[in-house]
Amino acid sequence: NVSSIFCSGSRSSKTFKPKKNIPEGSHQYELLKHAEATLGSGNLRMAVMLPEGEDLNEWVAVNTVDFFNQINMLYGTITDFCTEESCPVMSAGPKYEYHWADGTNIKKPIKCSAPKYIDYLMTWVQDQLDDETLFPSKIGVPFPKNFMSVAKTILKRLFRVYAHIYHQHFEPVIQLQEEAHLNTSFKHFIFFVQEFNLIDRRELAPLQELIEKLTSKDR
């Protein structure tokens, strides 16, 4: 059961950024509970499908918040290993290096260390998730026309944190016995973005082999 993994023991106590909560009693909270229940059945392909009669934007919004929280926790467990010294550039293996730009505060991509990059990235995502005009939490408030493109950018960037953890910090993940947790979370993420075609294949290249390995058993 995925939801119980996230609540067990000390794991959930250390997040990188504050957790983003979906208000209890809201429709989105119901959707999140539905997602957790279907995840519990173990069938990830089924779990990511749009529930009948639901709004695609809302389903993508709820899951995007959930992935932010999951990655927030996973990265939170390894922040001691991801330092200016160990990771002077934000990379996913030798072939992939990421430079940060958000289009508003930092318009021209800057080269920075992985911890700095991930701090920028997670703060940027947090700001998007907290923006009621982009991620409305109130019933009846419509999603903006550009919602899908915003969600795609968020997910594309969150993927980079998984890619960095897998390429640069897999040893501590194993030592911390977080490997199954990381794999389950990433597999869920990949099935989700594949189901709705949310991340360009080129962007997924740094983890292509792993993606094939994780998804081939469930075709």
The annotation places the binding site for Zn(2+) at: 82, 87, 164, 169
Task: Name the binding residues.
Answer: 82, 87, 164, 169
Distance CA 27, CA 213 (A): 35
Contact call for residues 164 and 114 (beta carbons, < 8 A): yes
User: Which letter does DSSP use for residue 138 in this model?
Assistant: S
The length of the chain is 219
3-state secondary structure at position 97: strand
Point out which residues pair with 100 in neighbouring strands.
Answer: 110
β-sheet bridge partners, residue 97: 91
Name the nearest CA neighbour of 167 among 202, 125, 208: 208
* Two structure tokens written together for 182: 């990381």
CA–CA separation, 130 and 188 (whole Å): 23
Dihedrals phi, psi of 82, to nearest 5 degrees: -105, 95
